[in-house]
Amino acid sequence: MYIHDAALISPQESFGDIDLESLASSSDNKMLVKEPAYPDIPPNILRRMGKAVRIGVGSALPLLNKASWNPDGIVIGTAMGGMEDCIRFLNQIIEYDEGQLTPTNFVQSTSNAIAGQIGLLTRNKAYNITHVHRGQAFENSLIDVMMLLRENSKAEYLVGGLDEISTYNYNIDFLAGCWKEEDCDNKELYECRTPGTIAGEGSAMFRINSNPQNAQAAISDIIVFQARDPQQVQNRIRQFMERNALITEPPDLFLSGENGDIRNLGYYTAIENLLPGSTGIARFKHMTGEYATATAAAVWISVQLMKAGLPQHMIKRPAQDPKPRQVMIYNNFRGLQHSAILLKA
């Protein structure tokens, strides 16, 4: 399947005037998105939107409004959806003793609020679904669309992955040891060899169909699985590479989901050991922070790298071709959920 258009709202200059060479800094071990003015969203609707809905709808509408495109389905992956609105609504139940509750927080508290809002604003009554599989939510959205396109090769879909940093979840995850206890700037993320990482958020949207003509990139294959043993992970990725002939013809670039958490470094090292020295290695979590659907941002970044080349701050090992034609993405979410995506220019 082929990507024909893409948009990303992230902590970097990725929406509107794109500039991946410059690198925005984190604050308090968090990387918050740079929200645009949202010119495509009516102001009376925008002011009622929670953050997750804003960035989701805001990144989707530019694709939908371009050439008045009406997709055959809207498929979104998210781990938490509008968690911040969910907590606000639950707090209101206690505060107002189950009395006069704000309906907006309730409506936007569910994970499918983003896909639903996109459908309502564009009057799209087609297939509308949200995948909520934590670290594999976006990958399962892609697999869903891949199967749908096998049934109807003429269809087109809006596919996205997004998550926000909610205060409630950040605190819960911090107590669980997911985030770094010491202050760690994103520009030094991979040198902070301690447990935990920095929190991130973002929303990436893609226009996907089966037509190779004028496509920006092709998604050739996807694999998702769960494992704790690095050897088992390496074996599964080797199988993925073998079925895509990446052993004999290695990818130009390996885009690693390495996030500065020393506990998960062994998984990424195991995958790097499968690759020859001719394959470049790049990292992206210092640009986005860590969140469950960060692979959606990785796919958008990969498309940009194919067009504009590799920024210096992403390079771990230089690639032979500054504009890679074939990129393999590997991501690991909290040492359990693993995925790999192969993209070709």
Element holding 305 (H helix, E strand): helix 294-308
Going 85 to 298 to 64 to 37, the CA torsion angle's sign is positive
Which phi and psi angles does 13 have, rounded to 5°? -80, 75
Q: List own/partner pairs for 93-98 with CB under 8 A and 24 or more apart.
A: none
Rounded to a whole number of angstroms, the CA Rg of the chain reads 19
Residue 322: per-residue pLDDT: 83
Residues 198 and 298 in one domain: no
Mean pLDDT of 175-193: 95
Contact 71, 63 (CB under 8 A): no
Spatial separation of the C-alpha atoms in residues 312 and 3, rounded to whole Å: 25
Domain range enclosing 65: 2-209
Encode pLDDT of 242-284 as tens digits. 999 999 999 999 999 999 999 999 999 999 999 999 999 999 9
Residues 201 and 224 in one domain: no
| Confidence bin at 307 (pLDDT 50/70/90) | very high
Contact 2, 219 (CB under 8 A): yes
| Confidence bin at 5 (pLDDT 50/70/90) | very high
Residues 77 and 152 in one domain: yes
Residue 279: per-residue pLDDT: 96
Q: Which of 179, 209, 239 is the last residue of a domain?
A: 209
Mean pLDDT of 188-206: 96
Residues 177 and 228 in one domain: no
Q: Give the residue among 56, 49, 112 at the shortest CA–CA distance from 85.
A: 49
Q: Which residues of 198-213 are buried (b: 16+ CB within 10 A; e: fewer)?
A: bbbbbbbbbbbbbeee
Going 79 to 204 to 200 to 37, the CA torsion angle's sign is negative
**In this model, does residue 82 exceed pLDDT 70?**
no
Mean pLDDT of 92-111: 72
Residue 33: per-residue pLDDT: 97
Q: Which of 209, 240, 270 is the last residue of a domain?
A: 209
Give me the CATH number covering residue 309.
Answer: 3.40.47.10
Encode pLDDT of 217-249 as tens digits. 999 999 999 999 999 999 999 999 999 999 999
Element holding 5 (H helix, E strand): strand 2-9
Residues 275 and 137 in one domain: no
Q: Give the residue among 64, 252, 288 at the shortest CA–CA distance from 156.
A: 64
- Percent of the chain at pLDDT > 70 equals 96
Residues 107 and 174 in one domain: yes
Residues 199 and 223 in one domain: no
**In this model, does residue 74 exceed pLDDT 60?**
yes
Mean pLDDT of 4-17: 96
Least confident range of 92-106, 123-137, 315-329:
92-106
Residue 227: per-residue pLDDT: 97
DSSP 7-38: EEE-SSB-SSS-B-SS-PPPBTTEE-------
**In this model, does residue 320 exceed pLDDT 90?**
no
Residue 142: per-residue pLDDT: 98
Mean pLDDT of the chain: 93
Encode pLDDT of 122-174 as tens digits. 999 999 999 999 999 999 999 999 999 999 999 999 999 999 998 888 988 99
Contact 271, 235 (CB under 8 A): no
Residues 195 and 260 in one domain: no
